[in-house]
Amino acid sequence: MAALSGGLAPGAAAADVQGQQWYLTAMQADEMWQVSTGEGVKVAVIDSGVNAGTPSLTGQVLTDEVPEAVGYKATEDYSGHGTSMAELIVGTGSGGGLKGLAPGAKVVPYRLAFPDLKNAEEARKAPNTAQAIRAAANSDAKIISMSFTAPTDYPEEAAAIKYAQSKGKLMFAGVGNDAETKNLIGYPAAYPYVVGVAASDEEGTVGGFSEHGNYVDLAAPGLNVPTWCDATFRSYCRGRGTSQATAIASASAALVWSAHPDWTANQVLASLIDTAGRDWARDDPSTYLGYGLIRPRKVLEDAGFTPGPAGTDPLAGENAIGVTDDPEASPSAPASSAAPEDATGGRTSAAASGSDASGDTTTWVALGAGAALVIGGGAFAVARARRGA
């Protein structure tokens, strides 16, 4: 069983949904789009399906590129979640819809059977996660975006992830939204070669719900990010979750890869890690924000950016060690981690592990004007806890 890692605030329909996309201003999207819009990059969205008929996704979804064997109803979204993720990545904003961070990129949709899918026959015909990942690995998509999580490590999924990595794909997954209750280890984020993404708010503070552990690699905006309220596609709601953060991280990678089409997945990821907002050493990542807050602008504005060797995995240490956190020793997120306004949102997920078992304490770094981390124009406070892996 897998859960979609995004929550919605009931009754929060957006009159001006693009005006609620605060992170586009914070990340200086208009300036980035002068350099790159993601053109030429395809993103595989493995989710609840993608409705290719919304105004914002017209012409953005490559339905013909999904193999028949795994493409059952790939463009029929039974919850609205997959469509929301696709719009956050490649939406054009047409018709007042969501504006994607990488509007020049394209989406290849894959539909899984999450608990929201009540039709048993449709659930039976849907591919499993491993099948969808392998299909995406064999496609022209450079990036695989997975905004879902489950508490079980399946050998066939791990093998599919390794296969996708061998095919040069860059994979992102949300670490989950149950830090305040379970904080279990969540997959696929915890698999080697998958970039685990945490969620931050407008101030750059990690969401209190956002799972933490030694496989959190990057953080991206994930609070008060609008998504479709449901599968009727009549209105948007205020959303929160590592789902949204995963989509925005995937779009960030698309922007960078479009600007540097000769780079490998390792180099794109290395560039995002090197430029992430943090005030700690790069080789001492946080259990809450990993290597920091994603800032693709810092890569795009430097035409001579050097991403490192093509064959060097920037997460080689973590991938070799695997998940080392001890769930029994897991602390809850600090009270100052800013619980989201829509804490009553519906979707949650069983995911992620706790802090490391080395006994390191959690320290919150208060940043003044001179020390603020900046992702575009917005200042971001950060949570700090060494992994001690």
Residue-wise burial string across 320-354, b where 16 or more C-beta atoms lie within 10 A, e elsewhere: eeebbbebeebeebbeebbbbebeebebbbbbbbb
Angle between helices 242-259 and 81-90 (to 10 degrees): 30
Query: Which is nearest to 219 in space by CA: 186, 179, 246?
Result: 246
Query: Which is nearest to 6 in space by CA: 249, 244, 342?
Result: 244
* Cα 305 to Cα 30: distance, rounded to the nearest angstrom: 20
| Model pTM score | 0.84
Enumerate domains of the chain plus CATH numbers: 3-384 (3.40.50.200)
**Distance between terminal CA atoms of the chain?**
29
* Cα 239 to Cα 223: distance, rounded to the nearest angstrom: 6
pLDDT at 323: 75
Give the 3-state DSSP-derived string for 121-164, with helices as H, strands as E and coil as C.
HHHHHCCCHHHHHHHHHCCCCCEEEECEEECCCCHHHHHHHHHH
CB 186 within 8 A of CB 150: yes
Here the contacts of 166-170 (C-beta below 8 Å, separation 24 or greater) are 167/137, 167/138, 168/142, 168/264, 168/265, 169/136, 169/137, 169/141, 169/142, 169/143, 169/144, 169/265, 170/142, 170/143, 170/144, 170/195, 170/253, 170/257, 170/265, 170/268, 170/269
The number of beta carbons lying within 10 Å of the beta carbon of residue 163 is 16
From first to last of its 389 residues, the chain has per-residue pLDDT tens of 466 655 544 333 445 899 999 999 999 999 999 999 999 999 999 999 999 999 999 999 999 999 988 999 999 999 999 999 999 999 999 999 999 999 999 999 999 999 989 999 999 999 999 999 999 999 999 999 999 999 999 999 999 999 999 999 999 999 999 999 988 889 999 999 999 999 999 988 999 999 999 989 999 999 999 999 999 999 999 989 999 999 999 999 999 999 999 999 999 999 999 999 998 888 889 999 999 999 999 999 999 999 999 999 999 988 888 776 544 333 333 322 222 222 223 222 222 222 222 222 122 122 222 222 333 333 333 333 434 32
* Cα 24 to Cα 33: distance, rounded to the nearest angstrom: 11
Residue 118 CB-half CA count within 13 A: 1
pLDDT at 358: 23
Rounded to 5 degrees, φ, ψ at 250 are -65, -40
Query: Which is nearest to 177 in space by CA: 339, 375, 379?
Result: 339
pLDDT at 321: 80
Question: Which residues carry out catalysis?
Answer: 47, 81, 243
CB 282 within 8 A of CB 291: yes
Omega within 30 of 0 (cis) for the link into 188: yes
pLDDT at 10: 38
Residue with tokens 């990821």: 269
Which residue type occupies 384?
R
